[in-house]
Amino acid sequence: MAFDPSKSWDTYPDIEITLNVNGKNYKVKVKPYERLIDVLRYKLGFTGVKEGCGRGECGACVVLMDGELVPSCLVLAVRANGKKIITVEGLAPEGKLHAVQKAFLDTFAVQCGFCFPGFAIAIKHLLDKNPNPSEEEIKEALSGNLCRCGSYYRLIKAAKLASEYVRQGKIYFDVKR
């Protein structure tokens, strides 16, 4: 459908799409111009997906879409129709922590926490493809993520620890209370 600037945004028809988010199917009606980040956050409640820059520069909003790392602020929701999406909420089963989340805790990597979901997804993406990355490979993989608190040193330490956990087969951890 061609964009007509004389039309009100609300007059564009709804399109029903299906998103598989963290293993569960959701049917949702979206406008053709709606972004994936807004559908995930405001229609489906996956508020772990954060919006920083809104233009593909900070990595706060990244999710896995069919296994690839994408900034959800730059993806139209209709483009995600039928895709498998993983957000930070889907990294581990209920009541468990993923190796990446455990490593963040163990290294005190998180300060304000705003960037953490994006870093966690980016590290998972790296480890899915390369469970034994070098420091250079970690830096390269995280080069699209910004941390406003400047916690980079500890985030890299966390990525190294997470890779150790994964190589030892320790993917999920119980949450200690």
H or E element that contains 138: helix 135-141
Residue 110 has, within 13 A of its CA and on its CB side, a CA count of: 16
- State the nearest-atom distance from the C-beta of 167 to ligand FES, in Å: 26
Q: In the window 108-137, what residues touch ligand FES (CB under 6 A)?
A: 110-115
Q: What CA–CA distance (Å, rounded) separates 77 from 49?
A: 14
For residue 21, list its beta bridge partners. Answer: 24, 85
Query: Out of 53, 67, 134, 175, which residue is the one contacting ligand FES (CB under 6 A)?
Result: 53
Query: Out of 48, 71, 117, 133, which residue is the one contacting ligand FES (CB under 6 A)?
Result: 71
Q: What CA–CA distance (Å, rounded) separates 7 from 74?
A: 23
Residue 107 has, within 13 A of its CA and on its CB side, a CA count of: 20
Stretch that binds ligand FES, among 84-92, 97-105, 144-152, 162-170 (CB under 6 A): 144-152
Cβ nearer to ligand FES, comparing 37 with 91 = 37
- What residues line the site for ligand FES (CB under 6 A)? 51-54, 56-61, 71, 73, 110-115, 147-149, 151
